[in-house]
Amino acid sequence: MEIKETKIVEPQHLNQNTLLHYYTANGPRALFSNCDCPMIALKSRDTLLPLLFNSPGKDQAYLISTQQYLNYAKEELAHIKSSSLRFCYKQLIGVLSGILKLCHIDRTLQINNWLFPTSLYPELDGKQVGDITSYLMNKFPRKALWWRSVSPFIDPVLFKTLEDMGAKKLFARPAFYFDSQTPQVFQKRHLKQDLELLQKFEGRVLQNYDFLPKDYARIADLHNQLQCKKYSELNPILSPLFVQVAIESGFMQISALEIDGVIEAVYGSYTINNVMTAPLFGYNTDKPQELGLYRLLTALSIQESHLGQKIYHMSGGAGEFKQRRGAQSHDEYHFIFDDHLSKKQQVGWSLLTSIVNKFANQALDQMN
């Protein structure tokens, strides 16, 4: 029996000037070149959420494939100093990957995956979470249900509800949060230096309606230089069309630093429930580090969060850099529902959660 107030919404019934409409009507491939997967929209009361069907493949981004998620973890092992530990973890991931493939681990439906490493949740009460989960279990009985990256810091009701419902808990990452309404953070020496650097910046700061269509390719390229070429090609690869849709739909506030008429750094933010994050973030990595483009972008985005009185979800990575500027670390977790699946699939998820939860923090300690 279908849960009232919870239903799948066809693309033709969505506002056409939205990112969610584009995802569901056309698929995300034109927006992210390595994200080829079906997406649909779910409505719960007045809230719309994207649903993403995992799509395995060697050319896919890690956000849409559990196998690629493991390959992403394998890449991160390069940051471990001990070669013997690197070898051990690599072998463990290799064996785990083979077993999980046999367990059909990619038969999964992800809830609220916007194809960003940080997808903020709208406010959901406990009954809504239960209704959504029950509805999707009935609608897609062969799929594991995956609530991605839930934070007890900014999503306490969602986190506790999923725990109480008995979902498997899978460690995701330590994420960093900047509370712009805590005055003492602005006394941090590194942040003060960054804000002074921004104050002395002699170029132009551009925002949404300053951009021309010819700028979209440059914005996408700067993001990809940092996130895909420097960090990992398993991150979603932005297209200029994504930038266009993000601006024209009003989904993102995009800000850029222009030097001598050339855009050299850019970030794009969106806000839900007074929490801001910046999934679009990049700069010209060929420029000398002394120019401080990463520091300037960080200062500009922190300034935006402060002016809007928001909590700034700074995502994962670069932990020491962010903590020196006043960010606090809080662990995030994935929650998986698989009790309705075959024993083989349940074994796969049990194996993944037990191994990741046991070894992830140990591996992270070796990287720091």
Structure tokens at 128: 């809504």
Domains in the chain: how many in total? 2
One domain for residues 28 and 85: yes
Summarize pLDDT for 35-55 with one digit per residue, the tens. 999 999 999 999 999 999 999
For range 159-178, the mean pLDDT = 97
Radius of gyration, CA atoms only, the chain:
21
One domain for residues 188 and 124: no
Summarize pLDDT for 57-81 with one digit per residue, the tens. 889 999 999 988 899 988 888 888 8
How far apart, in whole angstroms, are the C-alpha atoms of residue 83 and residue 57? 29
> What is the model's pLDDT at position 1?
42
Conformation bin of residue 239: beta by default, left when phi > 0, alpha when psi is -120 to 50 = beta
Confidence at 340, pLDDT banded by 50, 70, 90? very high
3-state helix, strand, coil in the chain (%, to 5): 45, 25, 30
| CATH value at residue 232 | 3.40.630.30
The answer on pLDDT for 364 being more than 80 is no
One domain for residues 192 and 309: yes
> What is the model's pLDDT at position 82?
87
One domain for residues 61 and 182: no
> What is the model's pLDDT at position 79?
82
Structure tokens at 82: 């001990």
Residue 362 resides in a domain? yes
Tally of CB atoms within 10 A around 283: 24
> What is the model's pLDDT at position 175?
97
How far apart, in whole angstroms, are the C-alpha atoms of residue 186 and residue 321? 15
Going by C-beta distance under 8 Å and a sequence separation of 6 or more, which residues neighbour residue 192?
186
- What are the backbone dihedrals phi and psi of residue 332, each rounded to the nearest 5 degrees, phi first? -115, 155
Contact yes or no for 118/150 (Cβ under 8 A): no
One domain for residues 57 and 85: yes
Task: Describe the crossing of helices 293-307 and 189-199 by its angle, rounded to 10 degrees.
Answer: 100
User: What is the CA angle 80-75-321, rounded to 5?
Assistant: 60
User: What is the CA angle 266-269-271, rounded to 5?
Assistant: 170
One domain for residues 221 and 303: yes
Q: Pick the closest to residue 222 from 280, 296, 278, 295 (CA basis).
A: 280
Contact yes or no for 137/288 (Cβ under 8 A): no
> What is the model's pLDDT at position 57?
86
> What is the model's pLDDT at position 368?
56
Q: What's the maximum distance between 2 C-alpha atoms anywhere in the chain?
A: 62
Residue 223 resides in a domain? yes
One domain for residues 43 and 146: yes
Torsion over CA: 282, 288, 290, 291 (sign): negative
One domain for residues 127 and 245: no
In percent, how much of the chain has pLDDT > 70?
98
Compute the CA torsion angle 139, 140, 145, 146 (nearest 10 deg). -100
Q: What is the separation of C-alpha 52 from the centre of its chain, rounded to a whole number of angstroms?
A: 14
One domain for residues 272 and 316: yes
Helical ranges in 64-215 per DSSP H: 66-76, 83-102, 126-139, 156-164, 189-199
Give me the domain span that covers residue 238: 177-328
How far apart, in whole angstroms, are the C-alpha atoms of residue 344 and residue 102? 8
Residue 1 resides in a domain? no
For range 132-161, the mean pLDDT = 97
Averaged pLDDT of the chain: 94
Residue 253 resides in a domain? yes
Stretch (H or E) spanning 30: none
Residue 242 resides in a domain? yes
Residue 129 resides in a domain? yes
Residue 17 resides in a domain? yes
Confidence at 338, pLDDT banded by 50, 70, 90? very high
Structure tokens at 303: 């300034």
Structure tokens at 196: 């002074």
The answer on pLDDT for 367 being more than 80 is no
Q: Reading across the β-sheet that carries 328-337, which strands appear in turn?
A: 6-9, 39-44, 47-53, 108-111, 144-150, 328-337, 168-179, 311-313, 275-283, 262-272, 253-259, 204-207
One domain for residues 352 and 295: no
Summarize pLDDT for 248-297 with one digit per residue, the tens. 999 999 999 999 999 999 999 999 999 999 999 999 999 999 999 999 99
One domain for residues 101 and 248: no
Q: Pick the closest to residue 195 from 299, 298, 291, 301 (CA basis).
A: 299
